Structure 1
């Protein structure tokens, strides 16, 4: 009966709110340990490290106002170093991504990013020590000078005191500015490359660059927390708002609200008992760990506080929905959510009032407008104690009286006393606003501190090697990770790992030659100017090389070499090269039609082999031997019988493959017996498609495209970098090979075989991009 009278309704729980969660997948457990068997050995570009030191020194001098270079050269020197630094960072990160791709291990890229951050912190601290040494040596020279000016000497000593006092603040500002350069480069130049290779980038590493805590030696400094996080947490054992106590309280509140959702505790119990039982409910260790990770992920998201408690924001959003004439169900759900917010606000308010936290939170915000008038000599925590603890006021008054002469000013206490009165008269609405503000700020700090701890642990596992002996030992044992600038890479051509062949075959070249000869025209110059010469001009863009040229065909190769991951896009670049070859043909065909010259048609085959070709030499001429050449020749072909049947192709596709013989006949031979329609089409072999899927992040679309009158198509799309760094999009079609009657191509059935076309239709590219985005 007693329990009945103590009953309080359940809280709405969390199921009514789309809670966000913050987690990170950063791990370096698959990396090879260095020579000390504890840390990973990393060598960063010496030029990049020197650039970091130069720029950090200039930024420190700018922030402290103590320059070591003439005034005229300051701005130009700073601008020059900033531009140079951005460029070098982009090159080092590009090298890191390429090496991660070579190792097929994203953790190599993580290692490079953490290593660069650690190096930045080391260089900032080292350059700050250099500036302190410069100030001290200047003071010594001034003191030893015969014509020493006492005022000048005093000014120099004040400068040194200022530099020492502002060390952490300046290091933080400089570190954040350097990291801002990194964020800019990641967003503009590096992001596309990472997404092309690995898919989505890790948000944690991007967020880390804007995290102020990683640049501080003491993340609990009162001034730092107030200025950066709008917080003033206690640090004494008895303080209820200590960081550890706050984390524990937030976890327990969220755990209780989640437990309210599951109805795992009897409704007949009063709420306080339910809270205690929620904390004591028995679970397996693994389940408890999983639950704690999930709850902590919620606590690390400041936006969850607005979602749960910020009714003012919710009302604004509701009014906006009404203006936009949202559906009734949406408006009803929003009203229910606001009702739940009111209940949760009341619950949080009672919880923080009961523990004495609300008074401290209110005082921490009320003091922010005046604490700098008293600090120093006091510290913010003493001002806070003055506002909430009457017993501490006498001690504060006595301390200010004692320090009055030292600071040569009087400290008026009436502003503090007025704040005490204001706090006593403060209504619930303002206190609730302060509570929401505090919780949002605390969640942000908790997230950043969590990220800082992960970064610190990762940085401690890195050995930034500069010693020549350690470098040599680590290299010899293949345990050294190097992230260098292009000119620092070791020279020498690496062995070929695999290769891709492109065969482009001109259709009807014999007929074109005959027609042009009859008209007294030169077919050789026509083929040269309209086909061979323009293609030669784009070879370097795709790192392609000529293998063989005959009158009506060209064979090209793209190699992938050991330890040169920037070139490990042989299939993607072959596809891009083939697309450009067709674009060249189309461009010249338009010109030829104006002058009534024959138009050219191509068939292109691309074949990838996962091994190196062999070579023989005829004098100084190197001749390649590879099965890929023969297969590319088959893929580039067009069956005359099929061409006669398909006279007009209105499809956006230019390649169709058919099986005109039985499965038994195909099994008897290694030859390619399939029939092809390949007119201005590009066919890629199956091994090449699998390799392409490893080279870049391919996104698939299956379905209909009504605008192009296409049904049940299977398309893949992705982007790759050319050798110059320009990104090009590819669209490929995967289709089943139908078994047909070779006489009329009437379909009998679909076989298990598939073929792959590299598409060239502009309309198809536009439609595919729209489909992938949506």
Structure 2
């Protein structure tokens, strides 16, 4: 804090003015609260693709064996297989692509977050599992040879010692490679995919997901930590190191930081010791799905930061390390703050012309706080230690080097510890190297020492940020329950709490999620008369209908993605589903129309044979009804029974009024569909939800939801019929669609006007708002419609809006 006297003499910006030019970021928002709780009533149940997990396990197993045999066992290592690596990459990409597709359809970004954290948790746990497996394998081999005094037993013992001594390095190298490969595929493909589909490249910030701190085997693994952070804050024997530095840094900038960013009150030294940290870490690892490092991270944060900062995920300008450089190099260094390194002056973004003076005083204040302090000695020693470690051929622990160079150890203590080393480092030579480096540090020129301090500030901000983000990642991963046992997966699936991430080829048709469906009902008429006539001629009706009707229809189903609901003697009911993961097949009504046309062609062919054999002809009425929901299913002794309101609706559409059919008017209508409303005194013979009278002889009628779903599937051209071709205001819609085999088909739809049935014929009076929709089968009318569309395409480049297009309609179903 600055005294009142200093504030009156020297200008200093307020917090808002100081932070205005600095970069800022929004807190990360985890969306897991939108997800269901799993079978343990605590965590989220996740099942990753079995194929993906097997690929990862094989890659880690082979990579670890190659690493160990090459670096420690002195054997020719098995050559790494690039196929394993490619399989891992493609597996992860496949999981992400399917998840992004689902997230877009259902607006569920949390599913992408869940997949990324689940994969990270799985991989971190997998490396530990494979290390334990390798160690157990060597132990079992040693146990088998223990009764023999053989060189093989001694060799296996030495291998176990090497594995134990180098466990952190082995785990770190394998983990780093896994994350490096994931990051490559993220940068090359998946980030761009998410950006184009979801509008967001990284639902989880990249620095959080690929945080080096998550990949470290421990915060006390000095050899691995020093590749990313200064060793100042991670001394196992000095648990207060991070807290001490944090208090110094936040104290220097206290006037410009939120109060929740200041250090915590000093703790009683007996409240939390290094032993507590290690105990917490072991407890965390012992928990189910526990990950390495969580306990160490949590205890460091508890000792130094306020819960309002790390638990709530609050962010300040200090969480962006580049802001340190922006502040330090915002004005030219001179006098007592000059460094030995020429850094390009950053563009000054503080508009006040008094900023250089304040900047100079702030830099002097920073240097004064570090000068001659324990922290400065530690940071200089830790900066020099990695180079000395390499010079000594990695024979002396890097922490031992740090402690001696920082003046925390006498030469006698150093000699004693060097003598206890198992790698036979020569104490005399080690001491000479350390004394030479110690002399360099003590005689270090002021400008270089100041550069070390400013550089350390930036690296400390990076360590502090990564520590907070590692905590956030661990909290997220601890909410995930990765299910592996088949019984747990099945239990969670039955409870509706399982969130599965399969590869697309692992999806089975019965496991696809149905988004909507269409029902096609074919009401068969005349089958009774044909059956009776066949029996009179001593012929088999069953084989006749099977060969000439049902089998030809069965051959059509695959091309249009249809399934049988059930078949009776005088009715055929078929269904076509749209699945969530097959958007390229979302043409269920188009396919139902095409299938209905093909069924009628089968009947036409059958009727030609019937006429030749002097048998009664078959007559059909077909109805197509659409539902924007998935059907329900019941099971009776293993038989699936579909429940859908579209079945009843399709039944109504396929029906034909007996009164109209027997009338003189009906006798002259021929094939097709006509829908009429009864006169006020007219009684509808067949119960109908819309109270309409239908004439449907070898015709196909769509209900209104199916009609508008069809218009959302295809691009139609509207054709107004010429006078004399149809009555009233009927018009045609002409389009084309592909079946599942890629064959294109023309489709012509007539929108007819409902008229009034007076008991004898349909009048010219139209019912207000009454329309019905028929799939045209008349070859002449289809040819006429196609001809009109071709003519319009050449003469009318722009089709104006029509009354039909402006009329209110139901919402689309995509």
State the TM bucket, normalised to the shorter chain. Answer: 0.5 to 0.7
Question: How do 1:472-491 and structure 2 match up within 5 A?
Answer: 472-491=490-509
Residue 64 of structure 1 pairs with residue 72 of structure 2: no
Aligned match of 1:448: 466
Question: How do 1:577-596 and structure 2 match up within 5 A?
Answer: none
TM-score (norm 1): 0.58
Aligned match of 2:439: 421
Question: How do 1:333-732 and structure 2 match up within 5 A?
Answer: 341-353=359-371, 356-371=374-389, 379-389=397-407, 392-400=410-418, 407=425, 410-492=428-510, 497=515, 561=578, 564-567=580-583, 624-627=702-705, 629=707, 632=711, 636-637=717-718, 679=797
Q: Helix, strand or coil: the match of 1:84?
A: helix
Q: What is the distance in 2 between the residues matched to 1:404 and 1:166?
A: 14
Residue 46 of structure 1 pairs with residue 45 of structure 2: no
Aligned match of 2:246: 247
Q: Helix, strand or coil: the match of 1:42?
A: strand
Deviation of the 1:302 alpha carbon: 1.6
Q: Is the CA contact 2:42–2:479 (under 8 Å) kept in the aligned structure 1?
A: yes
The structure whose residues are more often helix, as a share, is 1
Q: What is the distance in 2 between the residues matched to 1:73 and 1:419?
A: 38
User: Could you give the per-residue CA deviations for residues 242-291 of structure 1, whole angstroms, max 9, x where no partner exists?
Assistant: 2233334433433323589xxxxxxxxxxxxxxxxxxxxxxxxxx99589
Deviation of the 1:620 alpha carbon: 12
Question: How do 1:219-298 and structure 2 match up within 5 A?
Answer: 219-233=219-233, 235=235, 242-258=241-257, 289=308, 296-298=315-317
The aligned length equals: 538
Aligned match of 1:299: 318
Residue 24 of structure 1 pairs with residue 8 of structure 2: no
Distance 1:217 1:309, change over 3 A: same
Q: Helix, strand or coil: the match of 2:33?
A: coil
Q: What is the distance in 1 between the residues matched to 2:440 and 2:128?
A: 44
Aligned match of 1:195: 195
Deviation of the 1:482 alpha carbon: 0.7
Deviation of the 1:57 alpha carbon: 0.4
Q: Is the CA contact 2:69–2:76 (under 8 Å) kept in the aligned structure 1?
A: no
Deviation of the 1:455 alpha carbon: 1.6
Residue 9 of structure 1 pairs with residue 10 of structure 2: yes
Distance 1:397 1:338, change over 3 A: farther
Q: What is the distance in 2 between the residues matched to 1:687 and 1:62?
A: 68
Deviation of the 1:365 alpha carbon: 1.4
Residue 125 of structure 1 pairs with residue 128 of structure 2: yes
- For CA contacts below 8 A with separation 6 or more, give which structure has more relative contact order: 1
Q: What is the distance in 1 between the residues matched to 2:55 and 2:310?
A: 46
Deviation of the 1:110 alpha carbon: 1.3
Q: Is the CA contact 1:497–1:559 (under 8 Å) kept in the aligned structure 2?
A: no
Bigger Rg over Cα = 2
Q: What is the distance in 2 between the residues matched to 1:336 and 1:167?
A: 55
Structure 2: 5+ residue stretches without partners = 260-305, 334-340, 519-557, 563-574, 591-625, 631-645, 655-695, 722-767, 773-792
Residue 112 of structure 1 pairs with residue 115 of structure 2: yes
Q: Is the CA contact 1:311–1:342 (under 8 Å) kept in the aligned structure 2?
A: no
Q: Is the CA contact 1:636–1:678 (under 8 Å) kept in the aligned structure 2?
A: no
User: Could you give the per-residue CA deviations for residues 81-104 of structure 1, whole angstroms, max 9, x where no partner exists?
Assistant: 111221121122223334434543
User: Could you give the per-residue CA deviations for residues 616-659 of structure 1, whole angstroms, max 9, x where no partner exists?
Assistant: 7799998754456379499743899xxxxxxxxxxxxxxxxxxx
User: Could you give the per-residue CA deviations for residues 694-714 of structure 1, whole angstroms, max 9, x where no partner exists?
Assistant: x7xxxxxxxxxxxxxxxxxxx
Q: What is the distance in 2 between the residues matched to 1:8 and 1:221?
A: 49
Q: Is the CA contact 1:138–1:156 (under 8 Å) kept in the aligned structure 2?
A: yes
User: Could you give the per-residue CA deviations for residues 310-353 of structure 1, whole angstroms, max 9, x where no partner exists?
Assistant: 469999886798xxxxxxxx899699877665443323222333
User: Could you give the per-residue CA deviations for residues 45-91 of structure 1, whole angstroms, max 9, x where no partner exists?
Assistant: 1111111110000111122126999x99944x621111122112112
Residue 308 of structure 1 pairs with residue 327 of structure 2: yes
Q: What is the distance in 2 between the residues matched to 1:639 and 1:9?
A: 85
Distance 1:60 1:249, change over 3 A: same
User: Could you give the per-residue CA deviations for residues 523-557 of structure 1, whole angstroms, max 9, x where no partner exists?
Assistant: xxxxxxxxxxxxxxxxx9xx999xxxxxxxxxxxx
Q: What is the distance in 1 between the residues matched to 2:389 and 2:71?
A: 32
Aligned match of 2:289: none
Distance 1:493 1:300, change over 3 A: closer
Deviation of the 1:34 alpha carbon: 0.5
Distance 1:544 1:427, change over 3 A: farther
Q: Helix, strand or coil: the match of 2:61?
A: helix
User: Could you give the per-residue CA deviations for residues 12-42 of structure 1, whole angstroms, max 9, x where no partner exists?
Assistant: 5624633233632223122100011011111
Does 388-397 or 455-464 show the bigger shift? 388-397
Q: Is the CA contact 1:499–1:570 (under 8 Å) kept in the aligned structure 2?
A: no
Q: What is the distance in 2 between the residues matched to 1:112 and 1:436?
A: 39
For the aligned residue pairs, the C-alpha RMSD in angstroms reads 5.2
1:93 to 89, 96, 110: 96
Q: What is the distance in 2 between the residues matched to 1:37 and 1:259?
A: 37
Distance 1:73 1:235, change over 3 A: closer
Q: What is the distance in 1 between the residues matched to 2:225 and 2:232?
A: 6
Q: What is the distance in 2 between the residues matched to 1:625 and 1:211?
A: 56
Q: What is the distance in 1 between the residues matched to 2:91 and 2:453?
A: 45
Q: What is the distance in 1 between the residues matched to 2:508 and 2:330?
A: 61
Deviation of the 1:465 alpha carbon: 1.3
Q: Is the CA contact 1:33–1:39 (under 8 Å) kept in the aligned structure 2?
A: yes
